[in-house]
Structure 1
């Protein structure tokens, strides 16, 4: 038997696999914020800045993966 041929939109499969990392990252970021706010509620405002910054960086990585998936196809 020969090797199985793979055809179709491999960019969609690649982006689907690349989206797993940012999905886990967003979950970790929000879990850390909730835990920090529960431990010290008075620091929730200062931690919210880092929450938004971390979320933006992780989502930017997901968008780079989307662009790269379509650019290479």
Structure 2
């Protein structure tokens, strides 16, 4: 057992620590996705003629943030 799991077992923590880890890992991508969409909507409102370029960059930023969430979902299952 790793030191963190031994500490959790000694302190009486029961349950799936992977679920807690994923919950904490989902905070960052959630904030990132909100910022990506919020700033892209603001940019489209300021410059409607640049909408295709802004939309393309918006979806690229969304995909990169979502990858972080998927990595956060997979890692607890790998290390458990």
Give the TM-score normalised by structure 1.
0.92
Higher relative contact order, chain-length normalized (CA < 8 Å, sep 6+): 1
How far off is 1:6 after superposition?
A: 1.1
How far off is 1:4 after superposition?
A: 3.0
- RMSD (Å), alpha carbons: 1.0
How many positions carry a matched residue from both structures? 71
1:54 aligns with 2:74: no
Q: Which residue of 2 aligns with 1:71?
A: 78
1:11 aligns with 2:55: no
Structure 1: 5+ residue stretches without partners? none
List, as ranges, runs of 4+ consecutive aligned residues in structure 1 with deviation greater than 2 Å.
none
Give the TM-score normalised by structure 2.
0.84
- Distance in 2 (CA, whole Å) between partners of 1:32 and 1:9 is 36
Q: Which residue of 2 aligns with 1:24?
A: 31
Structure 2: 5+ residue stretches without partners? 1-9
- Distance in 1 (CA, whole Å) between partners of 2:13 and 2:40 is 42
Going by fraction, where is helix more abundant, 1 or 2? 2
